[in-house]
Amino acid sequence: MVHYQPVDRTFGALADPTRRVVLERLGRGSATISELAEPSGMTLTGMKKHVRVLEEAQLVVTVKVGRTRLCHLGPRRLDDVREWVDIYRQMVNEQLDRFGELLDRTKGEPH
């Protein structure tokens, strides 16, 4: 563990397929914990945990409405991911040429 960074949470939150499904569902409109849990047959408690993770990553915002909790997509943190991916992609492009050269060199060598 190098050091804590918000982007950790973002990537971590996105790494779970259940949570990506939740985000996709919320992309079609707000939903309660029950509504999010129902399709997968997960318990409310389990889904609540996922929603919490998404909330901490600021990918989702929730509002308690009566006895239900309405969940919506949140606006933030995606910039972190986007920025990182862009930087990374740039690095890849810069490296690819050298990598190709290296492959060509090592190809000729005995292993």
Contacting residues toward DNA, per CB under 7 A: 1, 12, 15-16, 18, 32-34, 37, 41-46, 48-50, 53, 64-69, 111
Question: What is the DSSP secondary-structure string of 13-50?
Answer: HHT-HHHHHHHHHHHT--EEHHHHHGGGT--HHHHHHH
Of 68 and 90, which has the nearer Cβ to DNA? 68
Which residues sit at the interface with a copy of itself, rule CB under 8 A?
1-5, 7-8, 11-12, 14-18, 20-21, 23-24, 26-30, 40, 61, 63-65, 70, 72-75, 78, 81-82, 84-85, 87-89, 91-92, 94-96, 98-99, 102-103, 106, 109, 111
Neighbouring-strand partners of residue 31: 71
Taking CB within 5 to 8 Å according to partner kind, which of a copy of itself, DNA, none is near residue 96? a copy of itself
Give 91's contacts (C-beta < 8 A, 6+ positions apart). none
Place of tokens 């050269």: 101
